[in-house]
Amino acid sequence: MPEIFINGQAIEARDDQTVMAVAREHGHFIPYFCWHPQLSVVGNCRMCLVEVEGRGLDIACNMPVAKGMKVFTNSEEVQAHRKAMLQFITLNHPVDCGICDKAGECTLQDYHYQYSGQRSLSHDQKVRSTKFYNLSNRILLDNERCILCLRCTRFTHEVSKSMALGVERRGDTSNIRPVEDRPLSEDPYSDNIIDICPVGALLSRQFLHKSRVWFLQPTPSVCPGCARGCTVQLWHRKPEWKLKALDQRQNESIARVTPLDNPAVNGPWICNKGRDLAQVFERVRADEPMLKGRPVTVPAALDEARRLIGAARHAVALVSNWGSNEELETFKDKLGEVFHCFVKEDWQPQPGERLEDDLLIRADKNPNTTRARELFGHAEPGFKDGTDLVLVWGEGFDFARLPSRARIIFLNSYLQPENGHADVFLPVSIQTERHGHYTNFQGTVSAFEPCFEPKPGVLHAEDLIRALAAPARGHP
Amino acid sequence: MKHLVPEFEKFRERFPAGFESSLVLPCLRRIQEDRGYVANSDIEELAVFLGVPQIQIEEVLSFYTQFRRKPIGRWHLQFCHNVSCSMNGAENVLAHVEQKLGIKPGQTTPDGRYTLSTVECLGSCGTAPMMMVNDGYHENLTFTKLDELLEGLK
């Protein structure tokens, strides 16, 4: 346990630590571009220069601790060299922040304002290179903005193991390039390189020029794409920046999805499917209760549902494994006696989708199977003779498999043909409109928060279950 | 590349297991020695043989300017134009050869005999100006020396 001094503070470090790790642990910030906690150390950006008494300047990310070393992270010499490093790093950078998607969350921009603020000292023409290079069907590369930190190549070599990226040529003509034998588009984790890019070189095609990041706010959520339950951030427009004209749908849409660093589940990564959550949540929604396809008011639909429940002799419920822990528990508590409950798999793997791997992706494409099975058992849905009522909660169940005589109560969020076939159809809110928790396959519970208000007529499943459990002819 | 595999196996013995990527450089040198340049098919075959991603081979090839991706002439004239040679008139002797052969650096004569290049320091500053013809050094170059030399290159 060597004792080291950082800016005069005595710290007990572990033998295997670097100065960067110790400094971060104890709140001494050292700026960096190429270093990343989950990737190997290359030390090529030279931004984390610190001064060690008697040894001069060196990079903190690759400096093992030694007994009694005195490190200064912000001495005058360090400041001067940082400024010089930023001059060097921006030597061929176009400084086109005004049209760059990364502006506002760019480390180069932040460090420039914090540590340099200087105009370029160079009189030479900047080296021109390719803009909007097509890396894959999801990612564009701007080589002029690239500072060659190599985080993206290391990610494909060390984390996703697709080996899809490398550096061609050298010096100021170096370019990040993909290679044909291992296309980046086949890497299901490729979009993480957009997040870890410290500058605006790697751009999401889906998010390109869609919004400035300061108009957006992140809401913590959980990806429902598989049983891993990665924690994510859903970015949507801030209330104070709501659009009053133009395309108002943008006010209620998810602009992008990024990982929420969570060492217990997903670390700083998510898969590409998690980035496309908007495609799941922004399908056309059902927002009117119906009785056999005829639109009615919520109280009327609830009354009819309660009447059916009251009259049923043998009622079966197919419980959604997209329900939150709270909803599932409420269902068990309020309706568990009334219904014979089975867990329904709402989503099956899509054709062409990666089924499972040893990084994040799980074969079960539903978020809360664990808690649902704990409460309702492992039995496959089956219908005994004499089943006269089935409550289907959530999508993904073929109505042809339901007993032909049974009446149907259907709780669903999206506009689907089955909605009109149910005796009672009740629209329910989706994950982006409510609070809740999911339990992932390891038993880790993660919370999600609402981003948007549900439409009138759309109920939260939890309230709906309580209302259904109330005595018939009552009011919700 | 296939016929070089026995030689590559010998290279492999000199490295500890798991260091296949370190073999890229010696293998590429041998391929270029053999074929005169590195063809796309060589890259593909070498990637399979070593089990490394193709990008790793492309990285090496594009980093070192000594590697060639296209065939060159029978005689490869590489003029040093770094500081010492330049101060001793490298540009003049180069211009002389350019005029004689009718090509510019980076070009090959139409008959496929000569390829002209300019390169950085070849470590022979004491005998500047100098050039390499294929693997041999030619030092203290003068116009007469060059004329004689080009006569000799048939």
CATH number of the domain that residue B81 is part of:
3.40.30.10
Burial of A303 (0-12, 13-18, 19+ CB in 10 A): buried
Backbone angles phi, psi at A19, to 5 degrees: -60, -35
- Torsion angle of C-alpha atoms A64, A67, A68, A72, degrees rounded to 10: 10
Same domain, yes or no, for B88 and B130? yes
Q: What pLDDT is stored for residue A197 in this prediction?
A: 95
What is the rounded average pLDDT of the residues A136-162? Answer: 93
Same domain, yes or no, for B111 and B135? yes
Q: Does A181 contact B58 at a Cβ distance shorter than 8 Å?
A: no
Q: Record the pTM.
A: 0.87
CA distance A310 to A469: 10
Amino acid at A144: E
Burial of A432 (0-12, 13-18, 19+ CB in 10 A): buried
Same domain, yes or no, for B118 and B98? yes
DSSP bridge partners of A220: A233
Same domain, yes or no, for B86 and B28? no
pLDDT band at B12 (very low <50, low <70, confident <90, very high): confident
Q: Does B54 contact A181 at a Cβ distance shorter than 8 Å?
A: yes
Backbone angles phi, psi at B102, to 5 degrees: 75, 25
CA distance B7 to A442: 51
Q: What pLDDT is stored for residue A474 in this prediction?
A: 44
Contacts of residue B86, defined as CB under 8 A and 6 or more positions apart, other chains included, come to B129
Across the interface, which of B53, B62, B63 has its CB nearest the CB of A182? B53
What is the rounded average pLDDT of the residues A450-470? Answer: 91
What is the rounded average pLDDT of the residues A422-450? Answer: 94
Q: Does A164 contact B55 at a Cβ distance shorter than 8 Å?
A: yes
CA distance B64 to A53: 39
pLDDT band at A473 (very low <50, low <70, confident <90, very high): low
For A153, which residue in chain B has the nearest alpha carbon? B55
When the candidates are 3.30.200.190, 1.20.210.10, 3.10.20.740, 3.40.640.10, the CATH number that belongs to A3-89 is 3.10.20.740
Q: What pLDDT is stored for residue B99 in this prediction?
A: 92
pLDDT band at B104 (very low <50, low <70, confident <90, very high): very high
Whether residue B125 is contained in a domain is answered as yes
Q: What pLDDT is stored for residue B33 in this prediction?
A: 87
Same domain, yes or no, for B10 and B49? yes
Whether residue B87 is contained in a domain is answered as yes
Q: What is the largest CA-CA distance in chain B?
A: 54
Task: Write out chain B residues lying below 8 Å of A180, CB-based.
Answer: 54
Number of domains into which chain B is organized: 2
CA distance A353 to A178: 22
| Structural domain boundaries, residue B81 | 75-152
Q: Record the tokens describing residue A287, joined without a space.
A: 């927002």
Same domain, yes or no, for B102 and B146? yes
What is the rounded average pLDDT of the residues A58-80? Answer: 93
The count of residues in chain B is 154
Q: What pLDDT is stored for residue B71 in this prediction?
A: 87
What is the rounded average pLDDT of the residues A201-227? Answer: 93
Q: Does B55 contact A177 at a Cβ distance shorter than 8 Å?
A: yes
Asked which of B37, B63, B89 is the last residue of a domain, the reply is B63
Q: Record the tokens describing residue A57, joined without a space.
A: 């300047």
Return the DSSP state at A373: H
Q: What pLDDT is stored for residue A274 in this prediction?
A: 92
What is the rounded average pLDDT of the residues A296-320? Answer: 92
Across the interface, which of B47, B56, B63 has its CB nearest the CB of A170? B63
Q: Record the tokens describing residue A438, joined without a space.
A: 């999911």
Q: What pLDDT is stored for residue A249 in this prediction?
A: 83
Q: What pLDDT is stored for residue A76 in this prediction?
A: 93
Task: Write out chain A residues lying below 8 Å of B44, CB-based.
Answer: 181
CA distances from A247 to A50, A111, A207, A252, A283 (A): 49, 35, 16, 10, 17
Residue B89 has pLDDT above 80, yes or no: yes
CA distances from A46 to A39, A59, A122, A174, A175 (A): 16, 6, 19, 18, 19
Residues of chain A with CATH 3.40.50.740: 290-469
Q: What pLDDT is stored for residue A472 in this prediction?
A: 57
Residue A407 has pLDDT above 70, yes or no: yes
Same domain, yes or no, for B98 and B55? no
- Write the pLDDT tens digit of every residue in B30-69: 999 888 889 988 998 998 898 888 888 989 999 998 898 8
Q: Record the tokens describing residue B115, joined without a space.
A: 């390829």
Residue A59 has pLDDT above 90, yes or no: yes
Residues of chain A with CATH 3.10.20.740: 3-89
Same domain, yes or no, for B144 and B79? yes
CA distance A403 to A23: 65
Q: What pLDDT is stored for residue A254 in this prediction?
A: 93
Backbone angles phi, psi at A165, to 5 degrees: -120, 150
For A168, which residue in chain B has the nearest alpha carbon? B59
Residue A475 has pLDDT above 50, yes or no: no
List the strands of the sheet with A256-259, edge to edge.
A216-222, A231-237, A256-259
Q: What pLDDT is stored for residue A248 in this prediction?
A: 81
Same domain, yes or no, for B50 and B80? no
Across the interface, which of A166, A178, A180 has its CB nearest the CB of B59? A166
Q: What is the largest CA-CA distance in chain A?
A: 87
For A157, which residue in chain B has the nearest alpha carbon? B53
Residue A405 has pLDDT above 70, yes or no: yes
* Whether the Cβ atoms of residue A42 and residue A61 lie closer than 8 Å to each other: no
Same domain, yes or no, for B8 and B37? yes
What is the rounded average pLDDT of the residues A266-283? Answer: 92
* Whether the Cβ atoms of residue A44 and residue A33 lie closer than 8 Å to each other: no
- Write the pLDDT tens digit of every residue in A73-87: 999 999 999 999 999
The rounded mean pLDDT for chain A is 91
Whether residue B121 is contained in a domain is answered as yes
Same domain, yes or no, for B98 and B56? no
Residue A200 has pLDDT above 60, yes or no: yes
Q: Percentage of residues in chain A with pLDDT exceeding 90?
A: 76
Whether residue B22 is contained in a domain is answered as yes
Same domain, yes or no, for B38 and B90? no
Q: What pLDDT is stored for residue A12 in this prediction?
A: 92
Residue A476 has pLDDT above 70, yes or no: no
The CATH number for B37's domain is: 1.10.10
When the candidates are 3.40.50.740, 3.40.50.970, 3.40.50.720, 3.40.1350.10, the CATH number that belongs to A290-469 is 3.40.50.740
Q: Percentage of residues in chain A with pLDDT exceeding 70?
A: 99
Give the helix/strand (H/E) hosting A312: none
Whether residue B88 is contained in a domain is answered as yes
